[in-house]
Structures are given as structure tokens and as C-alpha cells.
Amino acid sequence: AQKVTQAQTEISVVEKEDVTLDCVYETRDTTYYLFWYKQPPSGELVFLIRRNSFDEQNEISGRYSWNFQKSTSSFNFTITASQVVDSAVYFCALSEAPTGTASKLTFGTGTRLQVTL
């Protein structure tokens, strides 16, 4: 069965600090996808990144970067120079359905990030 663990329930940082959100996953499949979503107070989940299990290259997008390590089943997310607008709940998710079947996302419990001035 697939499972996603986000051990950090809540993190508070001061603006301009770097912060890393941890994500550990469990799956028996060799082909799977990992996602990060941001959920601001409005409630809508905003897609941030998708990674497939065959691509372990780290990715950087502006202030955001992701570190995917299959050896430790982790997919961590780092925000550099955090800003108040980064305050939200961040979810890591896993999808392991074969093509053509339900593309179910299994989410972690989320990490609430609070960035203050």
C-alpha cells in the first residue's frame, strides 16, 4: 500500500530564512509519481511540481527546489529566502496507478508553514 509521511506538522520561520519541508513515501511499485501541492487559506490546492520515479535529478524553480532521493524514499522541498506569501499548508503526494487506471493521489498530512516578518 502506498503511504506518504510528512513528519513536520508546523514550521515557523522569519522572512528570508531558508526552510525545508520533509516528505517520506512508501510504495511497492517501481513506477510512480511524486507531487507537491500548496494550499493557501482559500483552500484550493495549487500544483507545484511533479516527479517520476525514474528521474532523480534535483529541480530548482526560482526560490523553490526539490531533492528526490530514491535510496531514502524522500522527496524534500526547500524554499530559499522565504516570504510571507509562502505561508500555507504544503502537501506531498504519491500516485502509483498504471496508465489507464485511476490516477489516485495519496497525500501526506501536510506541513503548515508560517513565515513572519
Partner 1 sequence: ETGVTQSPTHLIKTRGQQVTLRCSSQSGHNTVSWYQQALGQGPQFIFQYYREEENGRGNFPPRFSGLQFPNYSSELNVNALELDDSALYLCASSSRLGAGNEQFFGPGTRLTVL
Binding site for partner 1 (CB under 8 A): 4, 31-33, 35, 37, 42-47, 50, 52, 91, 93, 95-110
Shortest distance, CB of residue 18 to partner 1, whole angstroms? 24
Shortest distance, CB of residue 56 to partner 1, whole angstroms? 15
C-alpha cell at 57: 535529478
State the burial class of residue 113 (Cβ atoms within 10 Å of its Cβ: 0-12, 13-18, 19+): buried
Give the separation between CA 85 and CA 102, rounded to whole angstroms.
33
Q: Which is nearer to partner 1, 18 or 56 (CB)?
A: 56
Q: Which is nearer to partner 1, 18 or 31 (CB)?
A: 31
Q: Which is nearer to partner 1, 3 or 16 (CB)?
A: 3
Give the CB-side neighbour count of residue 102, counting CA atoms within 13 A: 3
All residues at 6 or more sequence positions from 42 whose CB lies less than 8 Å from its CB, including other chains: none
Shortest distance, CB of residue 29 to partner 1, whole angstroms? 9
Q: Which is nearer to partner 1, 86 or 110 (CB)?
A: 110
